[in-house]
A and B are shown apart, each in its own frame.
Chain A
Amino acid sequence: MTTAAPHAEANSADPGSTDAVLGRSARARAPRLFGTLTAKILAIVFVVAIFAVPLNIGDSYVLTVLTTAAIAAIAATGLNLLTGYAGQISLGHAFFVGAGAFSGQVLGGQLGLPFLLWLPLAALFAGALGALVAPFALRLRGPYLAIVSLGLVYIGIYAARNLPALTGGLNGTVVTAPVAIGPLDFTSLQIGPFLLTREQGMFILCWVILALVLLATANIVRSRSGRAMQAIRDHDLAAEVLGVRRLPSMMNAFIVSSVLGGLAGGLLGVQLQYIRPENFGLDLSIQYVAIIVIGGLASIWGPVLGALFIGLVPVMAIWLSNYLPFIAKPGEQSGVSVSGFGLIVYGVLIVVFLLFRRGGLISFFHRPARAPRAPAARAAASDPAPGESTTQKEGPSS
């Protein structure tokens, strides 16, 4: 536990002085959001793809997998903020996702609120839970926080099982919350003479929301509070000395992370159309941790890559079961099951990436750091080393 409070009081008497150190020097100015050409192109391609992919690929299975990956990416982005940028381990993210899912059904399904109301409210509900838990949880360090967050998951499942009026109890509940913004019903989107299937509509909805979430997260990370989080993650005593107070900063991270988890949960509910308490257990938390580690901690696109990768593992396993003898075919007893194979892949990759490639998948897309030409010319973020403190994809400067 730090004892920095008196120091912080003294030094943060003038907020301007902190800013001077953290904000105003040219070298340390917040990076522009789409600083490089590559970043701009990537963003445009991404936005186009959100619409081009479902319109050109009708296969409902592929679309379902990709939509689920988008939702997982939203949740993982939240976790990444807490774990990657703020450095707090949490094994309890599934709790907030579950809170979002069930509250979404209560607000949207039972109370009949429109989409533009129930989804944000569900996310805020999860955020409120995060705000309740945070002051207590954040006093703890490392392993203690990890275990307490694990406890949240179990307590959450217990609560969900025993509030059948709200959650359907042990069996769970069908999700009837509406997915329509005004006249646009995403479950059966009609554009002119064209009718989109549910899977196509949901794909567009979830990936658009993901894009907005990524934008918001990139902004948070660039902002003062985002840099404060990273400062505390990297060296909290020094940060406190500089006037960056730990608890408020961590609380911000925790709350935003919970809100994003709740948002993902609400979307997951309408995607699956059926949710039960067991869905939001340790397995789901494991999946999110695997996503951010494999995708790349403390990076914006990392969770997206990680979610796509993790989402494709079961698909790959089914495909591989025809070629690898140790994967059990249906009806067989011997060999590793498809889900077991998935778990082995997650576990091995978590270990491998943490040992050998801390930057995760996203680091494969980074060029190594170049020497800066001149301080004035580098208005964008100075090249970080591949790894933890990357905020977004860096490309070659043209």
Chain B
Amino acid sequence: MRIRTLGVLSMAAAALLLTSCAVQTAPTGDAPEEAQELTTVPGFDMSDGVIHVGQMTALSGPLAPSSNEQVAGQQAYYDIINAEGGIAGEYPVEVITADNQYNPQLAVQEYQRIKDQVVMLSGVLGDASTEALLPILEQDDAVALPSTQSSRFTKQPNLGMTFTSYQSNTWNTLSYLFEEGQITTDSTVCSMIQADQSGEARQIALEYASEELGFTLGPKTEFAPTDTAFTAQVQTLKNAQCEVVVFGGATNNVPNLVAAATQLDYAPVWLAEFFAIAQSFKDTDIAGYLAENFLITGLAGNLDDTSIEGIELLTEQLGTTPTMQNVYGFMQAITASTILEKAVELGDLSGPGIMNAMVELDKVSYLGLNGDMTYGPAEDRLQPDTSSIFAYDPAAPGSLSALATMYVAPDGRGPDF
């Protein structure tokens, strides 16, 4: 009885192992011919002609509200081009979303889930998630567009950037303040940043600016993303009499920062990025402090300024005034579409084909929303060098009131910025 059972089992085992339906044979080493005509590839089926792109973002958790706005912005652009038939007028674009919850571990898993359904990822939220995906993208010869400004991804062949770097934003804003006379060679400028690469990027720009413009560089204070009490850092900045502080935090840090600054009666000019500002601030008490002391870097200009082509199109498509996050997503979709147009032109929508398209591309332009992103061979790629600078105004759309649009420092782009 026992022997028979074992016998049956071993036959079944052998059968299972020998069928091995999911094993592919090792490649024999012939290089693929250069395709001149589009063929079906993962994410694109010739029979229906729909190009699928992936969007990986934090659909849950504290970043969800802004991520959802980015998703809406992307979709708006795709809707606009789909109305004209899609890429090259023939191939509509559809988005498949994935939730990485801002967690790189889940990013990897989600990527595995959707990678065969899409030709590329037109958005990946989170530097950490992008870093996590990079080795896998390289293995798979796939392309992703990180939803970040971090310059460390610019020269990667598998990644396509869209936005101005943190360094350029900081450098431009400081130059602007210097031009306006709010910073002079007698000023002390300091920083309050996170101990990561985005913080480092800002610090590099700050140090460069202090050399070029001649102001005094004050202390660098650091905080962790989950810190809630900033009194120690604010105390340090106050004691050093910093008049301007480069701030690298996000929306969850700002209320605590304002509370600490108010308590210690400290009111410098804080330079922040637009993702530090949440709509919910405008009917709280911190709005007053923000209006008086915050200077914010962002994209485009006033969000109701329909003289900017991108804003006009986005407003029409959404049916309402866009938020800055909508614009952010919209711009990434422009990048993705431009790349896909090139890929279709070259006749190859596979991963290597898209990478090749990025190499063959010259620039991507953004309908007046920001400066051009320079493509080409990976080592030649350059992020735009323009920044738009805003004051906080609860009455303005998105609480942002433009002071300067598409501003470039008079001394030009900084080194490797």
Chains A and B share a contact (CB less than 8 Å): yes
CA distance A193 to B28 in the complex (A): 10
Interface contact tally, CB-CB below 8 A? 146
Q: Are A161 and B224 in contact (CB under 8 A)?
A: yes
Q: Are B108 and A272 in contact (CB under 8 A)?
A: yes
Task: Say yes or no: is B104 at the interface (Cβ < 8 Å to chain A).
Answer: yes
CA distance A172 to B298 in the complex (A): 27
Q: Mark A165-184, 1 if CB is under 8 A from B, else 0.
A: 00001111010000000000
Q: Are A198 and B139 in contact (CB under 8 A)?
A: yes
Residues of chain A within 8 A (CB-CB) of B5 are 37, 41
Q: Mark A44-70, 1 if CB is under 8 A from B, else 0.
A: 110010011011111111001100100
Q: Are A61 and B196 in contact (CB under 8 A)?
A: no
Task: Say yes or no: is B273 at the interface (Cβ < 8 Å to chain A).
Answer: no
CA distance A44 to B7 in the complex (A): 12
Task: Say yes or no: is A6 at the interface (Cβ < 8 Å to chain B).
Answer: no
- Closest chain-B Cβ to A394's Cβ sits at a distance in Å of 18
Task: Say yes or no: is B205 at the interface (Cβ < 8 Å to chain A).
Answer: no
Task: Say yes or no: is A195 at the interface (Cβ < 8 Å to chain B).
Answer: yes
Task: Say yes or no: is A107 at the interface (Cβ < 8 Å to chain B).
Answer: no
Contact size range, A: 35 or more
Residues of chain B within 8 A (CB-CB) of A198 are 139
Task: Say yes or no: is A17 at the interface (Cβ < 8 Å to chain B).
Answer: no
Q: Are A194 and B23 in contact (CB under 8 A)?
A: yes
Of all chain A residues, the one with the shortest Cβ separation from B12 is A48
Q: Count of chain B residues with Cβ under 8 Å from any Cβ of A?
A: 57
Residues of chain B within 8 A (CB-CB) of A195 are 23-27
CA distance A155 to B368 in the complex (A): 48
Task: Say yes or no: is A276 at the interface (Cβ < 8 Å to chain B).
Answer: yes
Q: Are B131 and A330 in contact (CB under 8 A)?
A: no
Task: Say yes or no: is B31 at the interface (Cβ < 8 Å to chain A).
Answer: no
Do A276 and B104 contact each other (CB < 8 Å), given the known contacts A45-B9, A52-B13, A190-B26? yes
CA distance A196 to B225 in the complex (A): 41
Task: Say yes or no: is A2 at the interface (Cβ < 8 Å to chain B).
Answer: no
Task: Say yes or no: is B195 at the interface (Cβ < 8 Å to chain A).
Answer: yes
Do A51 and B65 contact each other (CB < 8 Å), given the known contacts A174-B131, A194-B25, A274-B135? no
Do A171 and B131 contact each other (CB < 8 Å), given the known contacts A44-B9, A56-B21? yes
Q: Are A171 and B127 in contact (CB under 8 A)?
A: yes
Q: Are A61 and B113 in contact (CB under 8 A)?
A: yes
CA distance A142 to B194 in the complex (A): 37
Q: Are A274 and B60 in contact (CB under 8 A)?
A: no
CA distance A278 to B99 in the complex (A): 18
Task: Say yes or no: is B136 at the interface (Cβ < 8 Å to chain A).
Answer: yes
Interface set, chain A 232-275, CB cutoff 8 A to B? 272-274
Do A274 and B64 contact each other (CB < 8 Å), given the known contacts A56-B22, A194-B25, A330-B59? no
CA distance A52 to B134 in the complex (A): 30
Task: Say yes or no: is A340 at the interface (Cβ < 8 Å to chain B).
Answer: yes
Residues of chain A within 8 A (CB-CB) of B61 are 337, 339
Q: Are A333 and B65 in contact (CB under 8 A)?
A: yes
- Closest chain-A Cβ to B311's Cβ sits at a distance in Å of 21
By a beta-carbon cutoff of 8 Å, the part of chain B in contact with chain A is 2, 5-6, 9, 12-13, 16-17, 19-27, 55, 57, 59-61, 64-65, 68, 71-72, 75, 97-99, 101, 103-106, 108-109, 112-113, 115-116, 127-128, 131-136, 139, 194-197, 224-225
Apart from A314-B106, A339-B99, list 4 A-B contacts with CB within 8 A.
A56-B16, A170-B225, A174-B131, A333-B68
A-B pairs with beta carbons under 8 Å apart, 15 shown: A41-B5, A41-B9, A44-B9, A55-B19, A56-B16, A169-B195, A169-B196, A170-B224, A171-B196, A172-B131, A194-B23, A195-B25, A330-B57, A337-B60, A337-B101
